[in-house]
Structure 1
Amino acid sequence: MSSVCTRSGNTSFRIHLTGAYRDEVLVDIHDGTGLAIERTMDERMNVLMRDAKRKEVVKMKRRSIFQYLLVLVLVFGALNQVQAADTPKSGGVLRVADTASPPTLDFMCSTSTATRVVGTHIFEGLMAYDKNYQVVPMLAENYEVGADGKTFVFRLRKGVLFHNGDEMKAEDVKACVDRFIAVSPRKRDLADLESVNVIDDYTIEFKLKKPIGPFLGILANPVALLAIMPKEAVEGKPLNKADIIGTGPYQLVEWIPDRHVKIKRFKDYKPLDTPGSGYAGKKGAYLDEINFVPVTEPGARVAGLEAGDYDFADFLPGTNVPDLKAEPRLAVKPLMPFTWPVMYFNFKRIFKDIKMRQAVQAGLDLESIMIAGSEGEGSGRLDPGLYFKEQVWHSDIGKQYYNQNDKEKARRLMKDAGYKGEEIIVVTNTSYEYMYKSAIVVEQELKEMGFNVKLVVLDWPGALALRKDLSKWDMFFSSHSIRFDPFINNFYFLPETTFFAYDNPEMAKWIRKGMDSVRFEERKEAYDQIQRIFYEDAVMIKLYDLGIWQGWQKHVKGYEPWYMLQFLNTWVEK
């Protein structure tokens, strides 16, 4: 008697070709119990009615035997391969071509994207955003909110270790909050924090002067994250001078500015047992090391990915995507949404006149601008929302003012405003190609409407330096990345924090309502009203939603584009 055996999981299949009955096959099906009983065809039919997991005897012609055997081997062999491919493996180095070198690794001190990319692997906060942009506990085990909405008590997870081997305690949390208030560019977020009180080693209390609707979102915001670090790493440390010690799945090895940042697996990391989701849940540290290399030139990122110098490359030019997709060893996917390009008006100069702002709003052909700036199918879309379609805060209020593409209306509004050909200074930059290319089309559109336009092109640092002087520009190109909570945009619209001199008491009223309420429905209504005023007042011009292209070698597994670079639950398979 000859036999062939295959296995999938706990179930094995053994197929016997008997010598006595050369036209009969016995198929043993084991479900992990080790039981297998031979039966004839008639018996098999009876057994199948009672127990489909028992051993079966199937009578068939010899010509069919090998076809049946081959199908089993192929099917269950393929299943085994799929299961193996989906199983994370530890080890290996991931080489990442990023777009910029971080200005600092002191996470709470910088809003830089490059700092965020590295920092989210090293640091964690009390709370975190999941992939659906909901706030959930991270270093906090749970929390309670007082009846008045002004007291939050957090119980910390026990046994969480810092990279220096010390256990995280409530005193560490308090020290980090104190430093955040002293040095973070987001310190205004906690302006209404009355006190932070250590109850015991694993319990900490926050008392607020008044209810703050987005308080949990403030703690979870990954932009200049309120990262929890050892007390001795932050206490008395000035801006950008904290010791880079966190609780995250990776720890710092080496940072050489403009050359690389190397991080390695933290062997004592304690992941959560909930599924990984965004910056929340289980964070699998499968890679031995991640090497972030700043590659500022897009063409160099493309060439390095094609040559195999990098395992992953961010922000790939759309014009290169078709060729990269044709490479069988590469995977290329869009990260959508990523940001939305915007033009700010300077309310200190000619655009203090609402009719002038409305003229620009009415005349622009946003589709043409999007095509030029997004460079590739799938990386741009038109939508009026100040928050992306994927977010619970999305709204299309004001859509009648978006992408009007009405040049005649624009000219009428310019005439009503008394425009007499004054020079309009538009500032863009070459550091972000989509801003530069969008500005080229906007310049043409404005000239077609009848504006006298001067386009000023600088690098990003130079543009930011010029923006501080409100006497030297009229329109300014920038972009808004994902805002996990709308309060992050408040500073644009408040007279005490805006950088373009905007002041509207009705806008400020709705911002206060959005901040003071702790109920989602009330906050959603407030920010819907803010979007209405945004369009009626033509505060700035939203151009389009922009996605970016990312590419990686196919031996990189587990990576899914979301928000920005993060290699939690990612591994390499070579």
Structure 2
Amino acid sequence: MRKANFWKFLFFALICSIVVAGCSNEKNAGSETGQTDSGKGKASKDKEIVIAVNENFISMDPHNTGDTNSNSVQSAMLEGLLGFDKDGLITPVLAKEYSVSDDALEYTFKLNQGIKFHDGEDFNAEAVKVNIERIMNDKSLRLNSRGFNLITNIDILGDYEIKFTIEKPYGPMLTRFGAAKMISPKLIKENSGAIPKSPVGTGPFKFVEWVQGDHLTIERFDDYWKKGERVKRITYKPVPENGSRVAMLKTGEASVIYPLPAQNLKELEVNKDVVVSKIPSTIARYVSINTMKEPFNDVRVRQALNYAVDKKAYINVVNSGFGLPLDSIIPSKTIYYVNQGVYEQNIEKAKELLKEAGFENGFTAEIWGNTNSDTMKGMQFIQQQLKEIGVKVEIKSMEEATLSDEIYGAQTPEDTKLQMWYVSWSAYASDITNATKPLFHSESFPPNGSNTAYYKNTDVDEWIDAANSTGDTSKQEELYEKIQSTVYKDSPWIFLGVDELLVGTRADVEGIYVETGGGINVSNANYK
């Protein structure tokens, strides 16, 4: 999830993220600029913060990550040349300056000096080169096909200056440098197989241990290059069951829970020990439909599924009223968004479309999803809704890592057993490329991307490629309008909703916030 600062962000008056712990903006700003708060008690330095999330983590490899939970943890340990501020705008991180040539083919970075990786290795231009070459040379990495396969030359201009040349203009290239978080070159060269399980970066926290399905622990890096008071340890615990997360927050066993179940909102809002935050998001909820498998290869069937589902009821039943219907292929806060109009529930129209497609009596289908409570509720809702048009849905829930293997392990559309997948996707509001190409371009079929609908439309492919190859914002706007209109009519998804995020935090914790894309930022996590 990444962004480019040369785009015009007309809508960024909205706050991109919210500080969960209720600390003042002034305190956060002071921490981010390296100032310390001498008022913090020494005892807080040795405490631990526990964060309970609803899903397991999949990988700690920042160059090959597709889920928000994993990316959140990585962001505490690893940093990129660039990053993003709370308003979603690109900002220098490991690079102190950057420039782009007039023809948008050369990207030059001047690096901050005196930075160490957690294993003592120096951060410099050579370390950057090792990281980017890893992405360029390994086609199995997700970032490879997202701009880094366009790099033709890497020139080290000095110990702390580096230039990249790409073969053709690529609009979101700057955002990709934000996504490419830096790993210790020693780890890449000597033990790259350990990266997914125990990464080594330059961030404010360093990796300690990961017990799959139970917890992942990180610890404060005392030699971090940005000074500030931070908690000693943070432990992330995957807790799929909603009630268990809420109980942990109430007792203090967890300092933060995300997401906070909507049905528990009222009871927690009156709890003096808890702070509840509501955050507008860019998270789209949908059911991915395999367009290459019968009967889903008929657009009439896919449209029928959309007309069968009551989107407002979905928001009310599954999200307890928090959120909005998804009325395009991207959420409304995404740049170049155009409202396509909601597929309003129309059972008769849905049945008519099925009849035209030769399925007057319906059919049986399978829907996949992970094991967390909200996902189960969502799949059960879809099951009930589609029953009204004669479509019998069988639910198959899997632990997150197993589900990922089943979906992304298939090498071709013919190999996959996937029919429908209840899932979500998020991208930074300014990163229109990441909100479209990985999901709707035919080059993005698994395992290369997240086009799990196996959607292929040659016009859409050409429009996406053209939009990514120009810096002309008016041209991009025109192209993305056509992309949205065409894909929405083709219905590779059942379009459901856009989340409003709910987060619960203990009142004595500060410096933690959730981004609109769902990532948890803990860079300045501490006790008050």
Going from structure 1 to structure 2, the CA distance change for 1:454 and 1:250 (only over 3 Å counts) comes to closer
Distance 2:238 2:424 in 1: 21
1:496 aligned to 2:453? no
Query: What SS does structure 2 have at the residue aligned with 1:510?
Result: helix
SS, match of residue 442 in structure 1: helix
Distance 1:410-1:118 versus aligned 2 partners, 3 A rule: same
Query: In structure 2, what is the equivalent of residue 229 of structure 1?
Result: 183
252-261 vs 140-149, greater mean Cα deviation: 252-261
Alignment partner, residue 34 of structure 1: none
Provide closer, same or farther for how the CA distance between residues 130 and 318 of structure 1 changes in structure 2, counting only shifts above 3 A: same
In 2, Cα distance between equivalents of 1:218 and 1:365: 37
Aligned to 1:18: none
More deviation, 83-92/481-490: 83-92
Alignment map for 1:349-428 (pairs within 5 Å) = 349-374=294-319, 376-377=320-321, 379-396=322-339, 398-399=340-341, 402-428=342-368
| Corresponding residue SS for 2:442 | coil
Q: Is the 8 A contact 1:338 1:564 kept in 2?
A: no
Matched, 1:185 2:142: yes
Contact 2:155 2:164 in 1 (8 A): yes
* Paired position in structure 2 for 1:317: 261
Q: CA offsets per residue over residues 320-366 of structure 1, 9 Å max, x none?
A: 22222221111122343162221122222112222222222333211
Contact kept in structure 1, 2:78 and 2:181, CA below 8 Å: yes
Give yes or no for the alignment of 1:140 onto 2:95: yes
Q: Over aligned residues, Cα RMSD in angstroms?
A: 2.8
Change (3 A) 1:232 1:365: same
CA drift of 1:121 comes to 0.9
Residue type of the partner of 1:332? V
Structure with bigger gyration radius: 1
Name stretches of at least 5 consecutive residues in structure 1 with no aligned partner: 1-80, 272-282
Aligned match of 2:449: none
Q: CA deviation at 1:101?
A: 4.3
CA–CA distance in 2 between the matches of 1:107 and 1:472? 28
Calculate the TM-score normalised by the size of structure 1.
Answer: 0.75
| Residue 486 in structure 1 maps to residue 432 in structure 2 | yes
**How far did residue 503 of structure 1 move?**
1.8
Does the CA-based 8 Å contact 2:80-2:178 persist in structure 1? Answer: yes
TM-score, reference length from structure 2: 0.81
Q: Does 1:249 align with 2:204?
A: yes
Residue equivalent to 2:485? 532
Question: Contact 2:240–2:372 (CA<8 Å) still a contact in 1?
Answer: no
Distance 1:383 1:355, change over 3 A: closer
2:398 and 2:153 map into 1 onto residues whose CA distance is: 42
Distance 1:184 1:239 in 2: 13
Separation in structure 2 between the aligned mates of residue 335 and residue 558 of structure 1, nearest angstrom:
16
1:534–1:297 CA distance, 2 compared to 1 (3 A): same
Whose RCO is larger (CA < 8 A, sep 6+)? 2
Residue number in structure 1 paired with 2:237: 293
Alpha-carbon spacing, 1:463–1:423, altered in 2? closer, same or farther (3 Å): farther
Alignment equivalent of 2:160, drawn from 180, 192, 202: 202
Could you list the runs of 5+ residues in structure 2 that have no partner in the other structure? 1-23, 31-36, 446-451
- Give the partner amino acid of 1:89: K
Contact 2:334 2:428 in 1 (8 A): no
What code does the residue aligned with 2:281 have? Answer: P
1:551 to 504, 512, 517: 504
| Deviations, residues 3-25 of structure 1 (Å, cap 9, x unaligned) | xxxxxxxxxxxxxxxxxxxxxxx
Return the letter of the residue paired with 1:453: K
Aligned pair count reads 472
Q: Distance in 2 between matches of 1:166 and 1:290?
A: 24
Task: Select which of 422, 429, 444 maps to 2:369.
Answer: 429
Maintained 8 Å contact 1:373/1:433: no
Aligned to 1:446: 386
Higher alpha-carbon deviation: 239-248 or 435-444: 239-248
CA distance, structure 1, for counterparts of residue 383 and residue 236 of structure 2: 36
Q: CA deviation at 1:84?
A: 9.9
**Residues 151 and 343 of structure 1, relative CA distance in 2, 3 Å threshold:** same
> For residues 257 and 418 of structure 1, what CA distance do their matches in structure 2 show?
46
Tell me which residue corresponds to 2:8: none
Say which of 468, 471, 481 aligns to 1:518: 471
SS of residue paired to 1:388: coil
Using the alignment, how far apart are the partners of 1:240 and 1:556 within structure 2? 32
* 1:504 CA drift (Å): 1.1
> 1:259/1:516 Cα in 2 relative to 1: closer, same or farther (>3 Å)?
same
Structure 1 contact 105–240 (Cα < 8 Å) conserved: no
Asked if 1 retains the 8 angstrom alpha-carbon contact of 2:241 and 2:373, the reply is: no
